[in-house]
Amino acid sequence: MKKKLYTLFIYSLGVCFIGLILHITNIGCPIKFVTGCSCPGCGMTRAWLNVLHFNFSTAFYYHPLFWVLPLLIPIMLFQDRINPKIYKFILFLVLLLFIVVYFYRLFDPNNTIVEINFSKGCIYHLIFFIGGLFYD
């Protein structure tokens, strides 16, 4: 158990460090910055910031599955006490839930959080920059 808590602590430090770098560079979401496409977790940080201010309706707007992550922490910490088949099934259900909600949000015309716009991504600009070197 101590090893798992230590590992969780190290991962948490890593996430905080990456978050600090992203904040300093003003990149925001690294996946959206690189690809131009929102990921299934898009809006999760904003949702939790609203939970901390007790704005639950706004939190649901930013990401309706914000409540799932705290449920996963004890499951992952005590996975050695859970039947491996049940553990994998829980992870599969969570993944499936995130994918279903992601596609719903992606194609919902009223949703302004999740978007696909490849022309905003670094990969798009890099491809056109390299292409311009050869065809200009």
pLDDT at 119 over 70: yes
The pTM (predicted TM-score) of the whole model is 0.74
Token readout for 8 is 């969780």
**Tokens 């910490």, residue located:** 77
Do the domain assignments include residue 19? no
pLDDT at 136 over 80: no
pLDDT at 112 over 80: yes
**Which domain range does residue 66 map to?**
41-115
d(CA 122, CA 26): 14
- Minimal CA–CA distance to 114: which of 34, 22, 43, 31? 43
Do the domain assignments include residue 131? no
d(CA 100, CA 21): 31
Do the domain assignments include residue 28? no
The per-residue pLDDT for range 14-42, each reduced to its tens digit, is 988 988 888 888 887 888 889 999 989 99
Mean pLDDT of 96-110: 93
How many separate domains does the chain show? 1
Percentage above 90 pLDDT, the chain: 43
